[in-house]
DNA sequence: GATGAATGAGCTTTCATTCAT
DNA sequence: GATGAATGAAAGCTCATTCAT
């Protein structure tokens, strides 16, 4: 789907508001006002509020899978290095697209907007398949142990990052970091989370610490 | 707060609907219809829709902290056994109160309903403090390594379980388990998650696998 | 109608609230809360909200006419003295029963609550008849000029006092009297209004100043 | 504020209903039905029911003050003639805008809708200031006596006319004029009231009859 | 005699969407 | 292609009153 600049503005405004207030907590009027456009434009360009949400998913999901593909096709890295790369990639992705992931983590729970649920499910399935392949590659090559439950492992990665990102303010508060500048805080968190998950994945995949 | 049986019915109906459709996606009329009561009853008993949500939080949160306290006051268990107990406890809690935790994970993201945000934050802070104490106890006794970032560790536990629970249907699908009876599935998942997190926590806390 | 003390409490609370917020702007719950009684009591004692308003009118109107009658039956005073007495009486009445007169001046405008409209109309008719008699007595005795339009004269008295009383705060403000104690202010106003209306009535009735 | 024809329809319908039933006694549905428009239009055009009332005040008040100003700037008339002109003006105004004045006299009593209360108070203050100027002009020129309490004098004019106008039906009944055509009745009343108030004002201002 | 519980009807306002231009 | 005007439907909440006890 080709998007003109006005459509992109709408989508990105919607993303911000959906993340802050939820899909149902955001009205098309809110979006229109924030984006500085006419209310009718949303129906005009996207057909409906729900279709706008779908468009947002397509907009953000596009590229993700292909990046994962190209990254994992790398011939030089060994399986553990690939896994570490994937960890880095996910942490970056969540921090760079916080709003989008807030929406996604909310929407995958709700069973109502089926078109969206289908999109998310398909998206996650594709990505998990890719990751499964690296891990199996590592298992075949003798790097990784057998009996690894990949969905649970991915839940650990994605669920944890998601939780950490969406509750950043809580982390700041509990550690008295309210005044640390956002970029410095993010840099620190990324570093900590990278070390944390690389340690965990190594332990699980190789039974070594 | 003392609740009569009608109030409990309303709260539990609301819990189910809020979990399925989100707070903003659920109308008080939806709740009233589902609960088989008059719409006006919700305002009558709780004052407003938002106060109903608060009542739901009190209703579910009540007892949790005190269970955690009593459980951890145990004098017989060593720190690692206590940590394992806590892991079991959280996994049970999420499976027994799935709806409630879906709501909580959504609501802690949204920044708007401040009364709720405050409740959740306070609740989590109290619980983290308790867990911190066990871990510090283990550190003093020489069981656990130093430099453990407790909020990140708890994000890993809670974020992961939450993610696993809220995306069960996805786990079933990816493993072709759509036909497994719910209780059998749950039993299996609990067992897997227990093993998974006990392994992770042991690795992180003791640097042994 | 015999009223017990609880009924009187309700009526007097209702009077205050009706005066401040209007009949439709006051809910039976407002009254019940303010009076410290159960909501159901209002229907229980008076039948309905509207009947409560009627009861209030009866409660306040009772005695007024008979006071007027007895006052004007006085054999010693001359007609102008009687008129002056009536002026004093009305000014006192408005100041002593401000709330009630606020309600009455509002309700006589509304055409909806017909039972009330009828009560007010009958009440005013009776009183005007009495006043008409004094004035005619004065005319027969040669004290007063002919061609006096009594309803217009009474509108001048009642409309003016009512307006002055209901806009007291405005009078205070325009004259920078916000800090004058209420009783002192009232005393001053009564004196001024008495002089003012006695002057006007004398001018109209006797063509002398 | 520019008003389109639909907005004017809404305002004038609201005026009629507010006058008959009071602000709180009139629902936006009543207005919408009577005006033949959709309920949502009222919020759409005015924002809220209360803002509609404010719009009505602006709509009616607009022009009043400036008419008063221009009228009183007249260089040819002497002060008493100006006062008489003002009396004529007020009587006309009340008869031509009966509904509006019913609402205003009700609303200035209620202390709740503060935006409206402020509008009314400001409006009256401005007008009283203008009248004060003519009277002071007359005093300086030796036409009028000293010690005139202008707010009380204006209460007499406005309170009386207001009372007379809002209780016209009573005047008709008491004088058996129920069958007189409205315009003829009004013409008669205006004439009577003019004579009445010109007489009173002359008496007060000049101490002559 | 008195009242807490309950309710249908109504309130004002906002919703996403459509339509005429 | 773009938009201001308009709307039916639904939102959350309050209303006066009734009823079982």
Q: What is the per-residue pLDDT for D111?
A: 61
Contact at 8 Å (CB) between B100 and B19?
A: yes
**Does residue D93 form part of some domain?**
yes
Q: Which residue has the tokens 């008003």?
A: D3
The vertex-C188 CA angle with C182 and C190, nearest 5°, equals: 100
Q: Which of A156, A161, A166, A198 to mutate to test the interface with B (most CBs of B within 10 A)?
A: A156
Interface touch C200/D200, C-beta < 8 Å: yes
pLDDT(D45) > 90: yes
By three-state DSSP, how is residue A177 classified? coil
- The Cα D101–Cα C102 span in angstroms is 16
Q: Which residues contact C133 (CB under 8 A, 6 or more apart)?
A: C72
Q: What is the CATH number of the domain that holds C134?
A: 1.10.357.10
pLDDT tens for the 209 residues of chain C, in order: 688 889 999 999 999 999 999 999 999 999 999 999 999 999 999 999 999 999 999 898 877 778 778 877 888 888 899 999 999 999 999 999 999 998 988 888 766 777 888 888 888 888 888 888 889 989 998 999 998 999 999 989 999 999 999 888 889 988 999 999 999 999 999 999 999 999 999 999 999 87
pLDDT(D75) > 90: no
**Does residue D116 form part of some domain?**
yes
Q: What is the per-residue pLDDT for A69?
A: 84
Does chain B touch chain C (at least 3 C-beta pairs within 8 Å)? Answer: no
> Could you check: is the Cβ of residue C26 within 7 Å of any atom of nucleic acid strand F?
yes
**Does residue B92 form part of some domain?**
yes
Over chain D, what is the mean pLDDT? 90
Contact at 8 Å (CB) between A91 and A152?
A: no
pLDDT(D105) > 70: yes
Which nucleotides on chain F have any atom < 7 A from a protein Cβ? 2-19
pLDDT(A1) > 70: no
Q: How far is the CA of D45 from the C1' of F5 (A)?
A: 10
Q: How far apart are the first and last CA of chain C?
A: 46
Our count of domains for chain C comes to: 1
Q: Which residues contact C147 (CB under 8 A, 6 or more apart)?
A: none
Task: Over range D65-85, report the average pLDDT.
Answer: 85
pLDDT in tens, D180-193: 999 999 999 999 99
pLDDT in tens, A126-160: 888 888 888 998 999 999 999 899 999 998 999 99
Interface touch C203/D200, C-beta < 8 Å: yes
Q: What is the per-residue pLDDT for C61?
A: 81
Interface touch C167/D112, C-beta < 8 Å: no
Q: Which residues contact C128 (CB under 8 A, 6 or more apart)?
A: C150, C151, C154, D174
Task: Over range D86-110, report the average pLDDT.
Answer: 89
**Does residue B90 form part of some domain?**
yes
Chains touching B by CB (3 or more pairs below 8 Å): A
Work out whether the CA dihedral D131, D136, D141, D145 comes out positive or negative: positive
pLDDT in tens, A183-196: 999 999 999 999 99
- The Cα A131–Cα A150 span in angstroms is 8
More confident residue, A166 or C180: C180
**Does residue D44 form part of some domain?**
no
Contact at 8 Å (CB) between C142 and C78?
A: no
More confident residue, D180 or D67: D180
**Does residue C177 form part of some domain?**
yes
Q: How far is the CA of B23 from the C1' of E17 (A)?
A: 23
**Does residue B37 form part of some domain?**
no
Q: Which residues contact A2 (CB under 8 A, 6 or more apart)?
A: none
Residue B180: burial class (beta carbons within 10 Å; 0-12, 13-18, 19+): middle
Question: Quick one: closest CA in D to C149, which residue?
Answer: D192
Of C10-14, D71-75, D98-102, D203-207, the poorest mean pLDDT is in D71-75
Q: Which residue has the tokens 């995958």?
A: A108
CB atoms within 10 A of CB D142: 8
Q: What is the per-residue pLDDT for C94?
A: 92
Per the structure block, which two tokens stand in for B63? 């007892």
| Average pLDDT, 10 consecutive residues per value, chain B (209 residues) | 89 95 94 94 95 93 80 84 92 92 84 78 85 90 92 92 88 92 94 96 92
- The Cα C39–Cα A76 span in angstroms is 80
> Could you check: is the Cβ of residue B37 within 7 Å of any atom of nucleic acid strand E?
yes
Q: Which residues contact A178 (CB under 8 A, 6 or more apart)?
A: A172
- pLDDT band with cut points at 50, 70 and 90 for residue D14: very high
Chains touching A by CB (3 or more pairs below 8 Å): B
Instruction: State the smallest CA–CA distance between residue D163 and chain C in angstroms.
Output: 5
Interface touch D196/C166, C-beta < 8 Å: no
Q: What is the per-residue pLDDT for A124?
A: 84
> Could you check: is the Cβ of residue A41 within 7 Å of any atom of nucleic acid strand F?
yes
Give the domain range for residue D124: 56-206
Rounded to whole angstroms, what are the CA distances from D208 to C144, D88, D143, D151?
17, 20, 11, 21
State the nucleotide closest to A26 in CA–C1' terms: E15
- % of chain A exceeding 90 in pLDDT: 61
What are the backbone angles phi and psi of residue B96, rounded to the nearest 5°? -80, -25
By three-state DSSP, how is residue B128 classified? helix
The vertex-A89 CA angle with A88 and A94, nearest 5°, equals: 100
Contact at 8 Å (CB) between C53 and C41?
A: no
Rounded to whole angstroms, what are the CA distances from C17 to A193, B15, C5, C10, C21?
62, 40, 18, 11, 6
Task: Over range A102-112, report the average pLDDT.
Answer: 80
Q: Which residues contact B22 (CB under 8 A, 6 or more apart)?
A: A22, A23, A24, A106, A110, B106
Instruction: State the smallest CA–CA distance between residue A2 and chain B in angstroms.
Output: 30
**Does residue C110 form part of some domain?**
yes
């Amino acid at each position: 789907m080709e998007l003109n600049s006005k459509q992109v503005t709408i989508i990105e405004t919607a993303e911000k508001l959906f993340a802050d207030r939820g899909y149902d907590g955001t009205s098309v009027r809110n979006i229109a006002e924030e984006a500085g456009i006419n209310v009718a434009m949303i129906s005009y360009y996207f057909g409906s509020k729900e279709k706008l949400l779908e468009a947002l998913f397509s907009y953000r999901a596009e590229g993700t899978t292909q990046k994962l593909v190209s990254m994992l096709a790398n011939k030089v890295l060994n399986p553990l290095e690939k896994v570490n790369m994937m960890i880095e990639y996910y942490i970056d992705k969540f921090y760079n697209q916080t709003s989008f992931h807030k929406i996604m983590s909310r929407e995958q729970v709700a069973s109502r907007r089926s078109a969206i649920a289908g999109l998310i499910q398909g998206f996650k399935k594709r990505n998990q398949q890719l990751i499964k392949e690296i891990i199996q590659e590592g298992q075949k090559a003798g790097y990784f142990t057998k009996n690894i439950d990949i969905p649970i492992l991915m839940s650990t990665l994605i669920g944890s990052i998601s939780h950490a990102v969406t509750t950043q303010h809580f982390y700041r508060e509990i550690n008295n970091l309210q005044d640390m500048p956002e970029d410095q805080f993010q840099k620190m968190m990324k570093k900590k989370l990278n070390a944390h998950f690389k340690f965990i994945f190594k332990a699980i995949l190789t039974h070594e610490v």
